[in-house]
Structure 1
Amino acid sequence: MMQLSRLASFGLSALTALVFVLLYGPLLVPIASSFFEIARGDVQWTSPSLSAYVALTRNQGIITAFLNTLIVGFTATFLAVLLGILFAIHYRNGATFGRDLMQFVIFLPFLMPPIMIGLSLLIFFRETDVPRSLLTVIIGHTVFVLALAYRTIVVRLQSLSVSYIEASYDLGASSWQTFFYVVLPNLKSALIGAAILCFALSFDETMISLLVTGTDNTLPIRLWAMMRLGFTPDINALVALILAFTTLMCVLAVRYLLPKDAEGT
C-alpha cells in the first residue's frame, strides 16, 4: 500500500508539472525573446541584449496607452473600494430596506458577459450625449469590478464582532470615530486585497474598454490594434514586465486575503 501511495503521489506530481508546463510554458517565449534577439527564426542565445527594453522606452504610443491604463485602473479601483465600503456597511446594518435588491444590482454586471455591459453602457452614453473618453472607461470598469470589492469587504465586515463597535460607543466614541478607529483598521487587509484584485481585473479588461473608449486608448486596446500588423520586439519586453508586475500583485493579494490562521499552517 505504501508503494502504491508513493506511485500515486509521483503520478500526481508529474501530472501537475505537465499542466504547469502546458499552461505557463508559452509565457517563457516572450520573456526569452526580450533578452535574446531572434534572427531567421533562431534565438541568438550567445548574445543577450536589453535592446528590446530600450526600444520600449522610446515607444511613445505604448507608454501613453500604459499611462492611460494606470489612470483608469487606479481611479476605478478607488471608486470601487469606496463604494464597496458604503454598500457593505449598508448591508451589514441589518434588515435595511432594499439590501437584497442592492446586492443583485451590484453582482449583475460582474456575472453578465463583458460585451453586454459594454454595449449597455455604450447605448446609455449615446442616449445621454456623454462623449466617450477615459471617463466613460473608468465608469465601465468601476461598474464591472464593484462586485469584487463589495464581496471582499462585506465578508470581512460580517466577521467583525459587534462587541468592538458596542464597546466603542460605550466609551463615548461617535459613529465617525468608531468607523475610523475601529471598523476601518479591521478592514485594512480586506481593502488592500480588494484593491489589488480590482486593479488587476481592470488592467486586463478589453471588451468593455473597446466599446466605451474614445480617442485615448488603454494598453489592451492598443495591443488589440497591433495584432493586425504584428508585434515589434519591444512588445516582448512589455509582456515580461507585465508578467512580473502581475505576479507581484498575485503574491500581495494572497498575502492580504489569506486568513491569518492559514498562514501559520
Structure 2
Amino acid sequence: MRSAGERAADLACGAVAVLAFIVLYAPLGIGALFSIVPVDRQGIHWSDATLSWYGSFLQNPSIVSAIETTLLVGIAAVMIAAALAVVLALYVEWEGAMFRRAVELIVYLPFLLPPIVTGLSLLIFFFNAGIARGYITIIIGHTVFVLAVLFRLVQTRLQSIPPSLFEASSDLGASRWQTFRHVLWPQLQSAVATGAILAFTLSFDETLISVFLAGDATTLPLRLWAMMRVGFTPEINALVTVVLAMSIALTVAIALRLKPEDQREE
C-alpha cells in the first residue's frame, strides 16, 4: 500500500504537469479566442464574436500566395528528400559502401546545426555560386534540412529487413530492380510515408532558413512574421490558429503512423 508521502509526491507531480501544460498551451487558446472575439483598448467585445476572419484572410492575395508557396516548397522538398533518403540509405547499408560515416555526417549535420547557421551557410554558398535566391534556393534549403529525418527512418526500416528476403529473391532469379520493386520497396513504404509527413511538418513551419533563402518568394511563416510587426489583428490570430491546427493534425498523424500496428488496430 502506498504511503501518504508517495501520494503527495504524485499529486505534486501532477500539479506541476498541469501547470506546465497551462503555461505552454494557454497562449494558443488565447490566440484562438481572439480570432473570434474582437479586442481593443476598450476591452473584449464578447457580443461581437464572429468567424468571419477565418474567411477574410483567404481573400488576401498575399496570404494565398504565401500558402501556395509554402505548399509548393514543402511538397517539392519532401519528394526530393525522400528519393535521396532511399538512395543514400541503400548505399550506406551496402556492404561495400565507402565513406559511410562521412555520408551520414553530411546528411545529419544541417539538421543538427542551429537553423540560422544552416541558412547562413547555404546563403553564402548560393551567393558564391551566383545562384539568385528564390523558389529553387528555398526548396534546396528545406530539402537539406528535412533529409536527415527521412534518411533515419528509412535506414532504421532497412536495417530491420531480414537479409534472407534478398537472398531468396536472388535465388529465384530476380534482378536488382525487381528485388527493389517487389521486395524492398513494399517494406520501405511505411517508413517513407511517415518520414514524409514529419518532413512536411518541419518544412511547413521552417522560418529561419527561409529568411536567408527566400529572396522575392514568401512562405507562410515569413508572411506571418511580417504581419505581426504591426500588431495582432483578428485576421492574424485566425491565420495562426489555422496554422497551429494543421501542425497539430500533422503531428497526430505522425504519432499514429509511429504506433505499432497491433496498437493501431486496438
Equivalent in the alignment of 2:136? 135
* Inter-partner Cα distance in structure 2 for 1:243 and 1:115: 22
C-alpha RMSD over aligned residues: 1.8
Secondary structure in 1 aligned to 2:46?
strand
Within 5 Å, give how 1:1-265 maps onto structure 2. Answer: 1-4=1-4, 5-40=6-41, 42-260=43-261
Native 8 Å contact 2:85 2:147 kept in 1: yes
Name the TM-score, length of structure 1 as normaliser: 0.93
* Inter-partner Cα distance in structure 2 for 1:124 and 1:9: 53
Write the deviation string for residues 20-79 of structure 1: whole angstroms up to 9, x where unpaired. Answer: 111111100111112222243533334431121121121111111111011111111111
Write the deviation string for residues 161-188 of structure 1: whole angstroms up to 9, x where unpaired. Answer: 1112222222222211211221111112
**Percent of residue pairs bearing the same amino acid type:** 44
Mark the CA change 1:123 to 1:263 in structure 2 (over 3 Å): closer, same or farther.
same
User: Where do 4+ consecutive residues of structure 1 move more than 4 Å?
Assistant: 261-265
Aligned amino acid, residue 203 of structure 1: F
Secondary structure in 2 aligned to 1:36?
coil
Native 8 Å contact 1:81 1:146 kept in 2: yes
Native 8 Å contact 1:189 1:257 kept in 2: no
Write the deviation string for residues 188-210 of structure 1: whole angstroms up to 9, x where unpaired. Answer: 22111111111111111111111
Aligned amino acid, residue 37 of structure 2: F
Secondary structure in 2 aligned to 1:50?
coil
In structure 1, stretches of 5+ residues that fail to align are none
Aligned amino acid, residue 242 of structure 1: V
* Inter-partner Cα distance in structure 2 for 1:35 and 1:82: 42
CA positional deviation for 1:9 = 2.5
Secondary structure in 2 aligned to 1:35?
coil
Native 8 Å contact 1:35 1:48 kept in 2: yes
CA positional deviation for 1:151 = 0.8
Aligned amino acid, residue 100 of structure 2: R
Write the deviation string for residues 71-109 of structure 1: whole angstroms up to 9, x where unpaired. Answer: 111111111111000000111112411111111111111
Aligned amino acid, residue 117 of structure 1: T
CA positional deviation for 1:263 = 5.3
Secondary structure in 1 aligned to 2:229?
coil
In structure 2, stretches of 5+ residues that fail to align are none
* Inter-partner Cα distance in structure 2 for 1:229 and 1:76: 31
- Comparing 118-127 with 75-84, which one deviates more in the overlay? 118-127
Secondary structure in 2 aligned to 1:152?
helix
* Inter-partner Cα distance in structure 1 for 2:181 and 2:10: 50
CA positional deviation for 1:259 = 3.2
* Inter-partner Cα distance in structure 1 for 2:247 and 2:105: 30
CA positional deviation for 1:159 = 0.8
CA positional deviation for 1:146 = 0.9
CA positional deviation for 1:127 = 1.7
Mark the CA change 1:115 to 1:39 in structure 2 (over 3 Å): closer, same or farther.
closer
